[in-house]
Amino acid sequence: MAIGKMQADSPSRQQCEQHNELLIKPAEESTSELAATLNERIQELAQRSQELQERNDELEEEKHELEKEKNRFAKKAWNLEISLRNKREHGTWRSRCVTRGSNFGVSDLQDALQAKKEELQEALDSRADHRQAETVLREEFGSLRRRLREQDASLSQATTESNEKVREASEREGLLKETVKQLEKRLQDQNKLIRDQQASFSNVTAQSNERARDANVKQALHK
């Protein structure tokens, strides 16, 4: 009865496997799900980062084009001012601005110069807008990079914690296996002891029966 109770109380291999299923497998599944979610988010952030970089490159190219346009407008404005100054110095401007419909009078030069200045100002304003947009994009890109680093740190911490849980579960599994092994050894020893005791009892019984039979034979002979 004691042996049967011990066998009933001792953890079986099936219980050990169930224990492993309850501890190790959920930890591995949780780690896999977390890693998959974070990898998906990292890919999204990387794609967004690439889009921002492409947009930044486009803005950089537009900035160079605006710089060229600015220089071109500035050169035209400078040439107009020089032309106007030269005409004033040579006294030719008076004869060319007698009528309002002159081909290239002072008023025309001033209007052209003003138009070029306005174009240049628009270009500068547009460039400022692009710079502002570029700044916003850079800030957003920096924010995304920080979030990506945070995601990486979170994934690393989660992986470390999961590995620690798996290690602890493995240690418990090893202890359970060792306990089962010891209990099986004790059970084998007890079974051997019982067999030895049964053999000894059978031997004693046989000897006792033999002596009783001999005694009966002797008693019968004396009669």
Q: Tell me the pLDDT tens digit for each residue of 187-217.
A: 999 989 988 888 888 888 888 888 878 777 7
Residue 58 lies inside a defined structural domain of this protein: yes
Residue 181 lies inside a defined structural domain of this protein: yes
Residue 102 lies inside a defined structural domain of this protein: yes
Residue 119 lies inside a defined structural domain of this protein: yes
For the chain, residues with pLDDT lower than 70 are 1-39, 41-42, 45-46, 48-49, 52, 56, 59, 63, 70, 73, 77, 87-113, 116-117, 119-120, 123-124, 126-127, 130, 133-134, 137, 223
Residue 141 lies inside a defined structural domain of this protein: yes
Which structural domain, as residue segments, surrounds residue 36?
Answer: 2-6+13-210
Residue 216 lies inside a defined structural domain of this protein: no
Residue 23 lies inside a defined structural domain of this protein: yes
Predicted confidence at residue 135, as pLDDT, reads 75
Predicted confidence at residue 81, as pLDDT, reads 72
Q: What is the pLDDT of residues 106-116, one digit of tens each?
A: 566 566 667 76
Query: How many structural domains compose the chain?
Result: 1
Residue 223 lies inside a defined structural domain of this protein: no
Is the pTM value of this prediction over 0.85? no
CATH number at residue 75: 1.10.287
d(CA 58, CA 63): 9
